[in-house]
Amino acid sequence: MTDASASPKLFEPAGLGPLTLPHRLVMAPLTRSRATADGVPTPLMATYYAQRASAGLIIAEASAPNAVGRTYPNTTAIHGPGHVAGWRRVTEAVRARGGLMFLQIQHGGRVGHPDTSGLTPVAPSPVPLPETIHTPSGLRPSVVPREMSVEDIKNTVADFAGAARNAIEAGFEGVEVHSANGHLLHQFLAQGTNRRTDAYGGSAAGRIRFVIEVAEAVVGALGPGRVGLRLSPGNTVNGIEEGDTEEIYGALVPALADSGLAYVHLGYADPDHPVFQQIRKDWPGTLIANPVLPADRIPDDGGIRHGERLLAAGADLIALGRPFLANPDLIHRMRTGAPMNQVRDAYLMYVGGETGYTDYPALPVVE
């Protein structure tokens, strides 16, 4: 059995910008595809997030800052009044249970399709996703994205800032800019998808420029301490080939050190990897680390031991995904050593409805 005394630091309060979190366990953003066709969060989503309000911080699922940034069917957005109203229902439900929320803002770039957004995807260069993509009509071949002009880039930076302001209007405490997992900002960082020869391509200094401009614009819109940035160094999902991982993050992270960001959030964090260790040295602020858990099951302790290793390596907060997905009362189970729910069939993550979403059981709390 595991209890809180086995990991006192993990369950200690922690500061994050102007916030004080009740403990160091964060719910990672998880795409669940329960929004309407045009990206409006539904009442069912309010139930789902409220069930998980005991997380130290919830980083809500990726939301598009504009129409062309949509990725898959029934994913959320944050660029229109309906999106703001839908998300406000969610934040109010979570706040009523004492929870805190950030919203992740994600532009899919080439990870998109006209059948979903009605628009041709845009990207740093006209390099298509090397695989099929989910659309409302099923799996379809990817399309060649349109190369973004400098004007497109400037407009997209403004869209991120506008989406961040919408998130605050919707009741979020802050936002996380998504520069990971093969989406638009990550596409600018990577040599395989960024073949530009202008100021936004070529050397590491050119390829990090768009990410820096987005981060600075969003911090400028919300103020210091209310914006995070998610990175996934070395991650090859969605056909990404960075080419020079150590160089690109060795340039990016120090360039953001004085930007006013509240945190950097590392996906697939490995405390033994030199890139993780270098980012920890280069980043002066809060570091959120998302550990790699076994693919076939949630650990019996919910991820406590993985989190402890990352804390010992310098992380400040630990983000968990699937453990929160399957255990709405994850913190209670961790504190008491109770058994963990396992994730049911993986396809249930994205099919819509209550099954595999709001129907995971919570344990009774004995007073």
DSSP characters for 9-74? TTTS-EEETTEEESSSEEEPP-----S-TTSPPPHHHHHHHHHTTTSSEEEEEEEESSGGG--STT
Per DSSP, what are the bridge partners of residue 289? 266, 318
Contact 135, 115 (CB under 8 A): yes
Give me the residue label for tokens 């979190």.
21
What per-residue confidence (pLDDT) applies to 6?
Answer: 52
Contact 336, 3 (CB under 8 A): yes
Q: Give the type of residue at 328.
A: P
What per-residue confidence (pLDDT) applies to 366?
Answer: 65
Helices 245-255 & 209-222 angle (0-180, nearest 10): 30
Give the C-alpha separation, 342 to 302, whole Å. 10
- Split the chain (367 residues) into runs of 10 and give each run's mean pLDDT: 61 97 98 97 98 98 98 98 98 98 98 98 98 95 98 98 98 98 98 98 98 98 98 97 98 97 97 98 98 95 97 98 98 97 87 94 82
Give the C-alpha separation, 159 to 221, whole Å. 11
Give the C-alpha separation, 128 to 7, whole Å. 45
Q: Give the SS3 label for residue 224.
A: coil
Helices (H), the chain: 43-51, 81-96, 114-117, 150-169, 184-189, 204-207, 209-222, 245-255, 274-282, 304-312, 322-326, 330-336
What per-residue confidence (pLDDT) applies to 5?
Answer: 46
What per-residue confidence (pLDDT) applies to 217?
Answer: 98
Give the C-alpha separation, 37 to 76, whole Å. 9
DSSP character at residue 239: G
Per DSSP, what are the bridge partners of residue 286? 263
